[in-house]
Structure formats: structure tokens, C-alpha cells
Structure 1
Amino acid sequence: MNGKALGIIETVGLVPAVEAGDVAVKTADVTIMGSQAVGGGLVSILMKGDVSAVKASVDAGSTAAARLGEVLSVTVIARTAEGLEGILIEEGKRPKCVPEPKAPCNAPSEPTARPGAEPGDGPVQVAEPVREASEAKEAAPAPDADDAPGFDMADLKKMKVTKLRRLARQLPSFSIARGEIKYAKKKDLLEAFVQYMKTLEK
């Protein structure tokens, strides 16, 4: 920190700590180094700058935080000793999440191209197109003919009409036209299966 002053405001809870940091930065020329959660709900805001600026910021920030919650302790170290920075938040290792237009902080690691994208633009998560319920049914894998073992009428009668339609679409030379199968009633499908079984017996 190159001998700059260090200010710390420790609060119970995150909201007072955020308020303290906001007011501290607006009060004087200080730089927020980050926050430190030490457990038990305690959160510390660390700031650095000139001695007078840090003192003014710590006073204003702690007063603002006290209005929202409990301030546990405050301190100002006028000239920090060498090596102290090693036990504080390391600036290079702090997680950074800079919001970009249309790029959420938790966007996928592999960027997805979008029309008009320029180098440096953040990745955008693209939702998959919503399919209609009818499309989803059509896309579902059709059952094998084994789903109706030996085309036993007792088994066919137990099947739902949707399953019968899927099975009918698989069969070559089925008596109901392919385009009409999705509108066919269960009774008509069962009759068509009877006719189909008769053709197999021939």
C-alpha cells in the first residue's frame, strides 16, 4: 500500500457494511480495497488513502452504517507497515464481476456469438427455442413394435391413444393415412390394427 493509511469498518451483517463503504467513498478520496467476511455475520470494509481522507471516510461510513445495523469496531492505521498488505485482501486475487451490457456475471465460460458482436463484448446466454407441446410429442422417440407384443388386442386396448398413434406411424402400409393418424380416435386405431394384423396373417 506504499505507506498509505488503512481504514477498517467492521459491521454485523453485509448491508451496513455496504452502506459504510458507499458513504466512505463519497465522503473523501479513498479507495475501497474490498470486504472481508470473518464469520459469525461479521463483515469488514477495508479502504486506503491519505490519512485525513481515510479518517473522514471511516467516521462518515461508520455513522451511516450505525443507522442500519451494528458497527462493531473501526480503526485507522496512519502509515501501514511493510508486509501488512499480505494479510489483507490481495487486490489481484479479489473476484471481479464487471457487468457488461447483456452479459450476466454468471454467463457461460464459452461465449456465444450474437449479431453485431464486437471483440471484447461479453458472452451472452442464448435460450433454447420453446417447442410447442405437439412438437415435443412428435420429437419423442417412437416406441418399437415390441411395445405391443405380438399386437395382442388386449395389450393394444390398454394403451393410451397417443401411444397407439406413435405405434401406427411406425407401421408400413397402415390403413389410416399418415397425416390422419394424429386425429384418429382410439376406436378407429384399434380397428385399423385389426386390419393390419389380418394382412400380416395372409
Structure 2
Amino acid sequence: MGGKALGLIEVNGLVGAIEAADSALKAADVKLLGVEKISSGLTTVKIIGDVAAVQEAVAVAKIAVSKISSIFSSTVISKMDNQTEAMILNSKDKTKKIELNVNSETLNCSEKTEEVINSDIAEINISEVTEVTNPVKIEDEILIEKVDKCEEKIEEKIELKEKKVYTIIEIKAMNVEELRRLARQLKITEMNNKQIKFAKKDRLIEVIDKHYREGDK
């Protein structure tokens, strides 16, 4: 297992690192161990292989990177000791495990987040459906009664201001709304509020005139 060479190419920026790795792998039969970001924008590209292949790969990578970025340093460690090689390979395996763990945790977090979101959506949908499927039912008669009550209050105020007995000529000269208002003010027993609301002019004149005549008796 020993006798392999390690090539290290330290470049400025991620673009330069990608170019270095790509050029090295195309230039010779070497294996990419990894790309490690150090600090201040410096990134180290690590390759391994036979001594001649690594030397050639590093040389080609330096030329390629110099066209688009800057190389900070490069080196080739020839014929690494077995322990050194094992250390580097173990380091690579640990890095992979860390990445896998991080990805697994990220996935779990994403799944939990999705569950929470789906739960919230479900709650919202349920509440929306409840609101839609259970509308407040208001019958027409209830609305009519409420309107009638309001009209009655207005008419009571008008009645307090002015109480007058109208002649048949004055009654016939009134419009339908005025007749309905007068019928309510007189509290005619023949018709309730709903009947008064939908009664025609002739019928209103008839019951109002009858009310006055009966009152005179």
C-alpha cells in the first residue's frame, strides 16, 4: 500500500481549486482525495497516485490555474510511509462520515419542518372548512322583523312629534310608504307588520279608513 505520492496544490478561491482538480485528474492517472478550504480564501486540492503521475498532475494544474487565478503553493510528497498514507485515507473517510451525518440531520430537520407545515396547513384547512360548512343561517322573516322594528322606532318618534287624524282625501293622496307608516302608527289590528310591509295602496287605504271610521263610533 505504501510508496504512493501525495500532491498538494494550494490556490486562491474555489474557482481556482476546481480548475486545479480538473486539470490534475485529466493530466495523469491520479485520484482526488478532496478539496479543503483553509482560510482567507485559500483552498487546498489533494491528489494521490504514483510519484511520476502526481508530479505531472501538479505541474499541469499549476499552469492551468495560473491563467485564471493564483497559486499560493504546491508540493509533492514522494513515497509516503504506510502510516502517513493510512492517516490521510482515514481522514478522508471521517470527512465522508461527517458529511453523511450532516446530510442525515438536515434531511431529518427538513422532514420535521415539512410535518409541522403540513400540520399547520391541515389545521387551517379544517378551520376553513368548518367556517364554510357551518354558515350562519338567517331566515328572511328574521331580517324582515329586524327591519320592521327599526321602522317602528322611527315611526314612534314621528308619532310623538305629530299626531293627526287624516281625512280620506289626504289618505288617498299619500304614497305607499306613507300609508304603511301611518298604518303602523295607528296600530291597525287587521294587519301585522309583515302584511303591512307588502300590502298594496288600495288595501292600505281601506284598512286605514276603516280604522278611522271605527274610532269615530
TM-score (norm 1): 0.51
1:140 aligns with 2:127: yes
Partner of 1:59: 59
Give the aligned partner of residue 198 of structure 1.
none
In the alignment, what sits opposite 1:45? 45
What is the aligned partner in structure 2 of residue 169 from structure 1?
A: 134
In structure 2, the partner of 1:30 is: 30
Closer, same or farther: CA 77–139 of 1 in aligned 2, 3 Å: same
Q: Which residue of 1 aligns with 2:74?
A: 74
Q: How many residues are aligned here?
A: 134
Change (3 A) 1:137 1:38: closer
Deviations 1:73-116 (A, max 9, x none): 01111111343342677231233889xxxxx9998459x9xxxx
Alpha-carbon distance change, 138 to 16 in structure 1, aligned in 2, over 3 angstroms:
closer
Q: Cα deviations across residues 132-153 of structure 1 (Å, max 9, x unaligned)?
A: xxxx98643589xxxxxxxxxx
Structure 1 residues 44, 167: closer, same or farther in 2, change over 3 A?
Answer: closer
Write the distance in 1 (CA, Å) between the matches of 2:124 and 2:33.
55
List 4+ stretches of structure 1 deviating above 4 A: 104-107, 136-139
CA distance in 2, matches of 1:23, 1:89: 25
Within a 5 Å distance, the mapping from 1:1-202 to structure 2 comes to: 2-85=2-85, 86=87, 90-95=91-96, 108-109=107-108, 139-141=126-128, 166=131, 169-171=134-136, 174-175=137-138, 191=143
**2: CA distance between counterparts of 1:10 and 1:87?**
17
Query: Shift of the alpha carbon at 1:67?
Result: 1.2
Deviations 1:114-137 (A, max 9, x none): xxxxxxxxxxx9xx8xx9xxxx98
Distance in 2 between the 1:11 and 1:108 partners?
A: 32
Cα root mean square deviation, aligned: 4.4
Taking the aligned partners of 1:89 and 1:18, their CA distance within structure 2 comes to 23
Tell me, which stretches of 5 or more residues in structure 1 are unaligned?
99-103, 113-124, 144-165, 177-187, 196-202
CA contact (8 A) 1:36 1:89 kept: no
Q: Is the Cα–Cα contact under 8 Å of residues 6 and 78 in structure 1 kept in the other structure?
A: yes
Using the aligned pairs only, state the percent identity. 30
1:56 and 1:105 mapped to 2: Cα distance? 38
Question: Secondary structure of 2:38's match?
Answer: strand
Q: Provide TM-score, normalisation by structure 2.
A: 0.48
Q: What CA distance in whole angstroms lies between the structure 2 residues aligned with 1:26 and 1:89?
A: 25
Q: Compare CA radii of gyration and give the structure with the larger one.
A: 2
State the AA in 1 paired with 2:16. P
